[in-house]
Amino acid sequence: MEIKIFKDYQALSEQAASEIEEVIKLKPDAVICLATGESPKLTYQLLVKKLIDGKIDLSDCTLIGLDEWVGVPPTTEGSCHHFLYKEIFSPLGISENQIHLFDALSGNLFLECQNMDKLILEKGDIDLMVVGIGMNGHIGFNEPGIPVDNYSHVINLDSTTQTVGQKYFAHPTELKKGITLGLKHLLQAEKVVLLANGDKKASIIKETLEGPISIDVPATVLRMHLNAMVIIDEEAAGLLSEKTLLDSQTASNV
Ligand code: PGA
């Protein structure tokens, strides 16, 4: 696993956007899984700029949403669906047949999971997953304790996720369950880029990079991935040991 530390959110987002650009250049029909949240937001805005500047073309890509809050309508600001359309799909003019998101209002969520797994299998795996990390170490809605061999599934959200998740919504919203790609997808993806910024993430980043590899902190499984990159800012790296800092490929501006 590679660790890259940047001065601030702007710099880490530029790096993340370049990583996405590189994957698309190498494989124009790449399958890309996108997280939502504050961490990747600027990355997506920079990606939109690259498209407008003619630096990338996503018209042959398949874009998959990492997760969704069960029971939250796609039109609600705060849903992953709404975020992805607002930040990336609509500005990039992505056509509907390229987009694959969980329908979290479906009466058959099990089928939703099956359909997502089938699609990924048919595409022959995910080329790039862009993910954030929760305050409890979750990736997507892979909450602490989740088995590593899970593909898509529905899960009861842990109390941290239910509380922290309120930040995305204009009004208090019931967030009891999530539907998500699994850790197995993460481990099988060709490449994973994890983004984290701000001192609020410093403690969980330290646990992720220096603590024992354990499903109690799901993000630690990324250390078993041969092509995972953790892109963080100085604040998120604030509690890392000297050794980790030395091991990391420190960006030139740090
Ligand atoms: P954030 O969310 O990017 O809004 O911090 C990360 C997550 O919970 O996965």
Closest by Cα among 116, 93, 94 to 103: 116
Q: How do residues 130-175 score in pLDDT, each as one tens digit?
A: 999 999 999 999 999 999 999 999 999 999 999 999 999 999 999 9
* Distance from the alpha carbon of residue 124 to the mean position of ligand 1, in angstroms: 27
Residue 152 located in a structural domain: yes
Residue 228 vs residues 59, 88, 141, 235, 240: alpha-carbon distances, Å = 25, 23, 19, 20, 18
Mean pLDDT (whole number) for 63-69:
98
Is residue 254 predicted with pLDDT exceeding 80?
A: no
Say if ligand 1 is within 6 A of residue 218 CB. no
Amino acid 172 reads P
Q: State if residue 78 touches ligand 1 by the CB under 6 angstroms criterion.
A: no
Query: Is position 232 within any domain?
Result: no
Could you report the per-residue pLDDT of 13-40, keeping only the tens digit for each? 999 999 999 999 999 999 999 999 999 9
Q: What is the pTM of this model?
A: 0.96
Domain boundaries, position 79: 2-226
**Statement: residue 250 has pLDDT above 70:** no
Instruction: For residue 77, tell me if it sits in a domain.
Output: yes
- 38 CA distance to ligand 1 middle (Å): 6
Q: Which of 133, 169, 204 to mutate to test the pocket of ligand 1 (most atoms within 8 A of CB)?
A: 133
- The ligand 1 atom at the shortest distance from the C-alpha of residue 135 is 8
What sign has the CA pseudo-torsion 51, 56, 61, 63?
Answer: negative
User: CATH number of the domain that 60 lies in?
Assistant: 3.40.50.1360
Give the pair of three-digit tokens for residue 31: 């399958």
> Does 253 reside within a domain?
no
Could you tell me if residue 190 is inside a domain? yes
Kindly state the percentage of the chain with pLDDT values over 70: 98
The number of the ligand 1 atom at minimal distance from the alpha carbon of 40 is 3
Residue 105 maps to a domain: yes
**Ligand 1: which of 39, 79, 230 to mutate, judged by most atoms within 8 Å of the beta carbon?**
39
Beta carbon of 152 within 6 Å of any ligand 1 atom = no
Active-site residue numbers? Answer: 67, 136, 138, 143
Of all protein residues, the one whose alpha carbon is nearest to atom 7 of ligand 1 is 134
Does residue 52 fall inside a structural domain? yes
Tell me the pLDDT tens digit for each residue of 37-59: 999 999 999 999 998 898 889 99
The answer to whether the CB of 178 is under 6 A from ligand 1 is: no
In a domain, 161, yes or no: yes
Number of domains in the chain: 1
Answer for the pair 183, 222: CB distance below 8 angstroms, yes or no.
no
